[in-house]
Homo-oligomer: A and B are copies of this chain.
């Protein structure tokens, strides 16, 4: 018997604890090619909000009554697979479940000697790869250009900013509290960081932080923050649409200023993406990220809650901007 957390009902607007339910389920017997895992660290990510709705999106929705699934690092405690042995740590898209029996295929062995295990859910996992491919492949930042990133203190944003610094860019972050602002300035060496919640005039603050305009905008947030940034893009700017967390809990179609006239006048590019578009190039991205981490050029922050039962609370916290860096739940 083991505990799992299921989607009890689809959230309308901001998710609440009532949308989740903890169940006790029986583990199936382990078959050939399968392993039994004990969860070690579980990731909560903004994109999961989309999977809780049944609207058409880029990933299939969760089913009501079934376990939530996402990135999990786990330890192998029993193996009927030639490729995995007891004691190995693996990462995969797995259910929110304390213990589980799953096929070994599709699991990635992770090495705690290269970096903390939790990094495989963050800077060396999906968030890091998202930052790497979105910024470099779509944004194509050139040394001396100005890169603005929203959600700058998030799991993706802080990697984006640091990679942009490595490329020789001026990096301007937008975040939601002063502790995050100071962290990004002092620990991650952003050139400027704006607290969008306390600034009285975001347009003016951006203009001051970007004296030569915005060449690349890596957008994790959307909404009014993006209105400000898009209004200040330069000719030939690239806008990477990675997330729109400010809009995920909207219950009606969000309205705003039309951006096509600006896209036209500035000959700008806007591109949406999901990291799995780059699956074939993950080894390249992992290698680069790991080399920057081990060289000390790429730092990473995490906010960790303790205990399986904290998962729903952790997930909801994403939308309150509580996390600096990757938000995780450790068992």
Contacts and interface: CB of A to CB of B under 8 A. Distances in A.
Interface of A: 50, 56-58, 219, 222-223, 226, 235, 241-244, 247, 253-274, 277
Given A241-B264, A264-B244, A270-B271, A258 B222 contact: yes
Given A267-B274, A272-B265, A219 B260 contact: yes
A223 B243 CA distance: 24
Given A256-B256, A265-B272, 4 more contacts: A222-B258, A254-B258, A255-B258, A267-B274
17 contacts: A56-B265, A58-B264, A58-B266, A58-B267, A219-B260, A253-B258, A255-B257, A255-B258, A256-B256, A256-B258, A259-B260, A260-B272, A262-B272, A263-B270, A263-B272, A264-B272, A267-B277
A267 B273 CA distance: 4
A280 to B, nearest CB: 15
A242 B264 contact: yes
B260 A244 contact: yes
Contacts of A264: 58, 241-244, 272-274
The 7 closest A-B pairs by CB, nearest first: A263-B272, A264-B272, A270-B270, A254-B258, A241-B264, A256-B258, A269-B271
Contacts of A256: 255-256, 258
Nearest to A58: B265
B263 A241 contact: yes
Contacts of A270: 260, 263, 269-271
Nearest to A277: B267
A261 B222 contact: yes
A168 B72 CA distance: 46
A154 to B, nearest CB: 15
Nearest to A50: B265
A7 B266 CA distance: 25
Contacts of A263: 241, 270-272
A13 to B, nearest CB: 15
A87 B261 CA distance: 42
B277 A272 contact: no
Given A58-B235, A235-B58, A257 B253 contact: yes
A252 B258 CA distance: 11
Given A267-B58, A272-B266, A260 B241 contact: yes
A272 B260 CA distance: 8
